[in-house]
Amino acid sequence: MDTATHFPDVDAEGYLVEPQEWNEEVAKVLAEQENIVLNDDHWDVLNFMREYYAEHQITVDVRHVIKHLAVKHGPESRNMVFELFPYGYVKQACKIAGMKRPRAWSTG
C-alpha cells in the first residue's frame, strides 16, 4: 500500500473513521506515529482485537485482551498490554488496531 497516495481518513485524534479500511500497513504508520515498533506480541494483540471487532462489531474491552494474553503468556502477563502500549489501551492499542475512538472511555 502506498500510504502517500491514500491513507484512510482519521478523526481529529488520529483514529480511523472507517475501521474496515485498516490493514497492516495502516497499523505500521499509526504505530510509528505513536513511537511504537510493532513486534509479534503487538501483532498478537492487534489481530485479536481485529478478530473480535469482525465478530462483534464493537471494540474489545481491555479485560478481554488481558485474558487473551494470559492464555498465551500466563497470569504474570497481566500488565503486558500496558507494557506494549504504554500510553494506554485506548490511546494506542485501539488506535493502531484501527478502531474508532471508544466514546465512553478516556484516552488514559
- If the chain, 108 residues long, is cut into consecutive pieces of 10 residues, what is the mean pLDDT of each piece? 70 93 96 97 98 94 95 92 94 95 60
CA distance 27 to 79: 22
Q: Supply the pLDDT for residue 5.
A: 57
Residue 2 vs residues 6, 98, 103, 108: alpha-carbon distances, Å: 7, 17, 30, 32
Architecture of domain 19-96: Orthogonal Bundle (1.10)
Domain ranges of the chain: 19-96
